[in-house]
Amino acid sequence: SIPGSPKELATQLSLAVQAALTDKHRQLEVRLPEGLCFGLFGPAGEQMLGSPDALIPEATQQRAERELAYLVVEMFQSYQEACVVVFPDAASVQLAERDWGRGALRPRIVSSLAQLDERPKAGGFGG
């Protein structure tokens, strides 16, 4: 069934993610209809269901992506920086950091998988 609220979406999303992890999937890509905003970081969007030709402003599409990622990250909030979110570009990373900075979630937010190897060098013995 199609979720009718952010809470229903989060519940269905959580069940789907749990099933994927049970099946030993470690990288997940979650998609919803373009521009589907739930009002986490601005007004809720007006989704035009059944209208594939509807033009959705790019800013709305980007906000929808950040909101979806936020809902997924909430499931892994106990992992903090061990949870990584990859956005398509540096501008999206900056917007997510701005939006998410108001809350308690602290995942790593990057613009490419290559950045996962770019951790600061730890000091210590011999270093």
53-96 tens-digit pLDDT:
778 888 888 888 898 888 888 888 787 778 888 999 999 999 99
| CA–CA separation, 45 and 56 (whole Å) | 10
pTM, full prediction: 0.73
Mean pLDDT of the chain: 79
3-state helix, strand, coil in the chain (%, to 5): 45, 5, 50
113 and 88 in contact (C-beta within 8 Å)?
A: no
% residues pLDDT > 70 (the chain): 83
Rg, the chain, Cα only: 16
Q: Is 125 left (phi over 0), alpha (psi -120 to 50) or beta?
A: beta
**Residue of 98, 100, 97, 106 whose CA lies nearest to 77:** 106
Vertex 78: Cα angle to 10 and 71 (nearest 5): 20
| CA–CA separation, 84 and 107 (whole Å) | 6
> Three-class SS of residue 86?
strand
Judge whether residue 124 has pLDDT over 50. no
